Structure formats: structure tokens, C-alpha cells
Structure 1
């Protein structure tokens, strides 16, 4: 028997299991007319996603504020299946980045804004990650009644390549030039004394997500989002360090794109950096 910590809907709850660990329990109607503190039978649970530590618990809570529950459980199923079926070691932040990616890719498809990534074929260089990506697309399409294209296989594979746990390095160079941008940005942040910590990890991961989507759009016309000049001036005046670091990153990405980017991106980057500071 497992103890319910939080009821999420009739079919999903956060429960406490052995060794005081937490998990997401799923099953048809398993939490109907139940409340916090009630017990669940083990045999009634059809899927169980472990929340192995405080970071994974916080990641889940953070996602729950921003994304629909079915996208979160789908993202977790892709990752947990990769861990169990392929014995693939991941860093915890992939639960945030991959789930966020699945949601926004779905939204872009629904709105007709989906853009093909044109990633190079990585099936030979990264057969395991490519197989995970292929499996991931199948799970996503089944669970969300979606129609993710084969283009998503490479994108999902890239999330796993980037999030492979330290001590288990990927031997080949990452093929996507976006990763070079991310690596350069991480060097800039490190030089400024900014590293991913327990306290700032949510803001750090959100910046990385923003940069991935920013880099995805580099070959598209710049979107000119209109900011009042006073807003940018206030950010520059009130947060000079964040603005300077954001501008350095802006110039780096602009050099990669070999063109002037939207001025709004400088403001977005400064806001992300200020959250980290």
C-alpha cells in the first residue's frame, strides 16, 4: 500500500513509497473520491514514475505550474523508458527541458507554426539516442493523440545527447551547431561566476530552453517585438551587470547568425540573466 501525498486528478497522484521516496502514480480512476493521506493499492497502479530526489520533485512541481499534466506524464514516460530500456544515464534537468520541448512542439503544430529543424542524420553517429528519439515520438503520438513528424526524432535524440549524465560522456561531437552556441554561452556564464546550482537550476534551465528555441529560429526573419525604450533603458540602468552579460550573449548568437537579431532578444536575455543573479 502507498500513501497519497497529493491528488492531481482522478487518475494521477503523488504518492510516498518505500524509503520515504516519492513517485507519480497513474491508473484509471485510482484516486476517485480519495484524498491526501489515503492509501493506494499497488496492484491498482498502471504506471509509476519515480521522483528520486528533491531536485526531481521540484522539477515536477515547477512543470506542474506551467504545463498540462498529460504533457508532463508523457515527457516522464519517454525519459523513464529511455533509462530502463536503454540503460541511459541522464541529468535531472532533462525532465524540464524535454517536457517543455514536447509541449511547445505540440503547440506549434496546432497553430501551424512548426518549422522543420533540418538537423543532420545522427542515426549512425548516435544509434542509441536516435533509437530513444524514435521510441519517444511513438510514445508521444500514442499518449497525446498527436502526429509528431519524424523530424522530432533528431530533436528528442539531441535532448538526450545534451543531458547525458557526467561520467558517461558522449564520445562524438554533437552535430547540431546549436550545441556549440550553448557551450559558448556556458563558458561566458562560467567566466562571470554563474553556474547551475540547487538554488538557481530552474532559472538556468529556462535560459537554456530559451537559447535552444532562439537558435532554432536563427535562419528565420527576426521577429520585431516592440518594447518601450524606457523598459530597455530601465533594465540597462537598474541591472547593468545582467544587461552587459545578456548583450555579450546576444552578440555571440548574432555572430553565429551573421546578421542583426531582434532587439527584443537582448532584453529577454538580460531578464533571464537577472533571474540567475
Structure 2
């Protein structure tokens, strides 16, 4: 709990638990159960009030964009979103990037509007998102439950996937575009393997989870120019030649997407994962034949 050091002047009451205030020339979003009860714009909140969580939006552009949302969206929707942001921050025990107060609120508000009109957008990266960002996906599920309880609008899995991306982006300052790119690249690689091996990869399998995780960390290494050692490169090239050639195609695709060189050691590790998919396909065929 944090104790205020001077009185807060209320700018906007979003709901009983979330208020936008002005204190010592600084705007703040206060989160505390019942803090907005009976309050109106222009009222004061005592400096002795107990505050569970305080959010700040310091960047001028972000502050302008937030005020545009405040002026255009229903206060209850913003309050609901701020409660979700608080829940996420509390569950993670970490501060989120301040842009989340614009991006997540804008997304959820637009999502609710679409769903009311029966317009659901398919998320082509849902399986990849759930596997790549399991912590954020679980938080997005909790957020969906909160939204459903308050609005009585069902939040489908596709939308939970989109919320997951916003949460992950809020934890990492790369921004949403790069977060989506992770999912796009992973999805494309999986499809390349499925087409080449003529196999359907089970998105719920352990091999899939391992592979997607490998791709995620491989991309991070490539972007960070972090060297990787693989003494078995020549052995892998010889023993798994078709898979290594496919891995080379995938490496070329990754190079084109990120404009960075993929070293042969990374390609060799990729070939091992592809070989595992190939071996599993052959095992299944033998079982069917038998």
C-alpha cells in the first residue's frame, strides 16, 4: 500500500475502483477498491488515502493519445481495462510499459464493439501465440473472464490471442509489431515444414512446443548477434541431408524477414527439430501399416 503525500484532484472517475487524478502537476491513474465511489470531477481525494496501485503516463504523445481515448470511450470501458492492466501488473509483479494504457484499452474497446455486432476476427497465429507466450496467454484468459463477467459478452479464443500479444508487448519494449512478427515467422516456418514433409503438425504436441520455443530463442540470438556453438554441423548435414536442406530454406526466409545472417550452426539445430517431425511421421505411418 502507498500513502499519498498531497491531495489528489479528480479529473475523471472511470468506476468505483479507478480514477484519473491530478497531483502536484502530475496526472496519475489510481487503483483502489471504492476510491471512486461518490466522487466527481473536481472533487479531492485526501492525501492520507490508501492507494493500491498508481500508474503514470509520462510521455507527451502517450498522454495525448490516452486523453483522446478518455474523451471518446465510455468511462466504464476504460475503468474495466485499467482494472485488467492492474491485474496483469499485480500478477507479474512488474510495471508494464505505459503504452499499454493506450494500446490495450483501444483494442479491447474496439473488440467489444465488433463482438456486439457479431464480427469476430480469426487469429491465424493462435496456436503459435499460446505456445510462445504461455504466461501472457494465461493472463489474457483471466482478462477475458473479467471482461465477460462485466459485459456479458463472450470473448473467443481468437481475441484472447490478440490480448496476449498486447500483454507481451507491454512487458517488452520492442512493441506490438515485432511481437506479431515472432508469431508470423513461427507460423510460416511450421507451414513450410508441413508442406515439405507432407505432414500435419499437432499444435498441442510436445515436439511442436519445443520447436516453437527453439525458434523464439533462435530469433532472439540472431537479433542480438549472440554466437551459438554446434560441433555436430558436419554430422547433421551428412546424416540428415534432406532436413538440413529444408532448414537452409527456412534460414533464408528468416534472413529475409529480419535482414540478418543466420549462421550454419543455427541451421543445423533447426534441422534436428525438423528431423524429429519427420521421424514421428514415419513412426505413425508404420503403426497404420501394421
TM-score (norm 1): 0.51
Match of 1:101 in 2: 107
Query: How far does the alpha carbon of each residue in 1:152-190 deviate from its partner, in whole angstroms, 9 at most, with x for none?
Result: 22111112233433389x99962136999xxxxxxxxxx
Residue 174 (1) aligns with residue 182 (2)? yes
SS in 2 for 1:15: strand
In structure 2, the CA distance between the partners of 1:173 and 1:60, relative to structure 1 (3 Å rule), is closer
Residue 164 (1) aligns with residue 171 (2)? yes
Pairing partner for 2:8 from 3, 12, 15: 3
Correspondence 1:118-157 to 2 at 5 A:
118-121=124-127, 122-157=129-164
Deviates more, 1:14-23 or 1:85-94: 14-23
Asked if the contact 1:4–1:37 (Cα under 8 Å) also holds between the matched residues in 2, the reply is: yes
Q: What RMSD over aligned residues (CA atoms) do the two structures have, in Å?
A: 4.0
Asked if the contact 1:25–1:48 (Cα under 8 Å) also holds between the matched residues in 2, the reply is: yes
Uncovered stretches (5+) of structure 2, i.e. residues with no partner: 189-290
Distance in 2 between residues matched to 1:171 and 1:115, nearest whole Å: 18
Uncovered stretches (5+) of structure 1, i.e. residues with no partner: 181-277
Query: How far does the alpha carbon of each residue in 1:114-150 deviate from its partner, in whole angstroms, 9 at most, with x for none?
Result: 2332333133321112122112112222233322123
Bigger Rg, structure 1 or 2: 2
TM-score (norm 2): 0.49
Distance in 2 between residues matched to 1:92 and 1:33, nearest whole Å: 25
Asked if the contact 2:11–2:20 (Cα under 8 Å) also holds between the matched residues in 1, the reply is: yes
Question: Normalized per residue, which structure has more helix?
Answer: 2
Number of residue pairs matched by the alignment: 179
Correspondence 1:163-242 to 2 at 5 A:
163-166=170-173, 174-176=182-184
Query: How far does the alpha carbon of each residue in 1:44-100 deviate from its partner, in whole angstroms, 9 at most, with x for none?
Result: 87x755225254543431211221112212222222322221145543222212111
